[in-house]
Amino acid sequence: MSETTPLWIPEKFISLFTPNSDTYKRKRFFVRYGGRSGFKSWQFATAAILRMHTGKELVVCARETLKTLADSVHSVLVGRIESLGLQPYFEITDNEIRSKITGSKAIFKGLGLRIKESIKSLEGATITWVEEADDVSAYSWSILIPTVVRTPNAEIWVSMNVGLETDASYVKFVTNYDPQRMDCDKVTIFDMPRHLVPDGVWEEMEADKKNDYDAYLNTWEGFPLKAKDGGVFRPEKINIIPAAPAGCRYARGWDMAASALVKGKDPDWTVGLKMGYNPATERYVIADVIRFRGRPEEVEQQLITTANNDGLEVLQDLPTDPGSAGIFAVQNFIKKLAGFRVVTSLETGSKLTRGEVLAAQTNIGNVDMVLAPWNDVVLQEFKSFNGDKKQKDDIVDAASRAFARLRVPQEMKKLKIF
């Protein structure tokens, strides 16, 4: 047996480890939110392992996006097993962790676009731990919660840092906090013993406090960022529909990035937005959104996969960087997409100008959107968009490109009439 460390439980996590009794009734939701270095994942992982070791549990470890096991809390759970000296009592495989004593197991699932595939795995779960819940959409919650609560005494554990005050998870559990159903508390670096937090973390925190106090309040003290209303789009005018209408012609506009997610960084997203135009009604519909971060080879593979899924009815529209490297990259993409309909073009005009063209149709209620997990992030970016280069605008850029491509045939037709 390896060397063990004492089990230390911060005060704000004691209720998570406290069983039901005559004097204490556990809640359905255990929510811990706040800033960085609050050891939230560490404590939830410890509680999950101890529950699995002492009773029969099915623990579903979920997050909005799960591309590989490396994106999950698998390594955190394994680390806690080792620290507690429980290796002989657990069987660890690539896709699950199982207790040899109780038969409990932990599995790992993605929500978001895969939630309909994952839903069967949620049935029967006694504990559903949603990590990085700040990324979870309202749509995912609307499916996850009714499924999980069918199991008697099932619990939903939520760990998250804090983003915007309008993020679905923040609104659901913090803004709309219900003490009858929820055990919810804010946890920050200041709730941790000083010696447990590396010196470098404290140094970065102090640097943020000195150089960017707003960022410091959000990153370290867990205060939400205010949602800025950009004033260009009126997303409340977008009508949510169950499915795209028949008879549309489609283009998918792409906004390309090649930045993998790195802890502590917030790189741009690669976005492919599929938009349709219905000639019968002269309305536009946002039919699908692919949004991810990845290395160049992952971007290339996702582009190929998406084109295959879209088929020939969807025109793929790629941006061209005027530099030689950009031209070479887009030529490479076109070669990879042999057999599909692909066009490229330079970006013209400012981001604000391109966005305003689509906003004109959006703001008169002429744009619909298919009900899907990505709705929240689209509406939020539309709401905050103002052309500021410091803000994320990948979705707006991709939508503007798709919209511009769909307008081309109509404009050409009008020119021919004259």
The predicted pLDDT at position 387 comes to 77
CA dihedral for 395, 398, 401, 405, sign (positive or negative): negative
Which residue in 42, 28, 48, 50 sits closest to 187, CA to CA? 42
The predicted pLDDT at position 320 comes to 82
Interstrand relation of 127-131 and 155-161 (parallel, antiparallel or unpaired) = parallel
Is the pLDDT at 151 greater than 80? The verdict is: yes
pLDDT tier, 413 (very low <50, low <70, confident <90, very high otherwise): very low
Is the pLDDT at 18 greater than 70? The verdict is: yes
The mean-pLDDT minimum among 35-44, 270-279, 341-350 falls in: 341-350
The predicted pLDDT at position 326 comes to 52
Helix, strand, or coil (residue 277): strand
Q: Which residue has the higher pLDDT, 143 or 105?
A: 105
Measured CA to CA, the distance from residue 381 to residue 379 in angstroms comes to 6
- Class of domain 235-417 as given by CATH: alpha beta
Is the pLDDT at 293 greater than 60? The verdict is: yes
If 0-12 CB within 10 Å is exposed, 13-18 middle and 19+ buried, where does residue 356 land?
middle
The domain segmentation of the chain, as residue ranges, is: 11-211, 235-417
Rounded to 10 degrees, what is the CA torsion of 14, 20, 21, 24?
50
Is the pLDDT at 125 greater than 50? The verdict is: yes
As separate numbers, helices (DSSP H) first and strands (DSSP E) second, the chain gives 13, 15
CA atoms within 13 Å, Cβ hemisphere of 247: 7
Q: From the CB of residue 295, how many other CB atoms can be counted at a distance below 10 Å?
A: 11
pLDDT tier, 412 (very low <50, low <70, confident <90, very high otherwise): very low
Q: Mapped to the 3 state alphabet, what secondary structure does 51-119 carry?
A: HHHHCCCEEEEEECCCCCHHHCCHHHHHHHHHHCCCHHHEEECCCEEEECCCCCEEEEEECHHHHHHHH
If 0-12 CB within 10 Å is exposed, 13-18 middle and 19+ buried, where does residue 373 land?
buried
Contacts for 209-215: CB closer than 8 Å, 24+ residues apart: none
Measured CA to CA, the distance from residue 79 to residue 384 in angstroms comes to 40
Measured CA to CA, the distance from residue 260 to residue 269 in angstroms comes to 9
Question: pLDDT above 90 covers what percent of the chain?
Answer: 57
Per DSSP, which regions of 242-362 are E strands? 249-255, 270-278, 283-292, 314-320, 342-346
Which residue in 44, 56, 28, 58 sits closest to 121, CA to CA? 58
> What's the mean pLDDT in 314-326?
74
The predicted pLDDT at position 416 comes to 35
> What's the mean pLDDT in 164-184?
92
Q: From the CB of residue 83, how many other CB atoms can be counted at a distance below 10 Å?
A: 18
Residues 293 and 269 sit within 8 Å (Cβ to Cβ): yes
Return mean pLDDT, the chain.
87
> What is the CATH number assigned to the segment(s) 11-211?
3.40.50.300
Residues 336 and 368 sit within 8 Å (Cβ to Cβ): no
Interstrand relation of 90-92 and 96-99 (parallel, antiparallel or unpaired) = antiparallel
Which residue in 268, 238, 264 sits closest to 255, CA to CA? 268
Tokens 């913090």 locate to 174
394-417 and 351-362 helices, crossing angle to 10°: 70
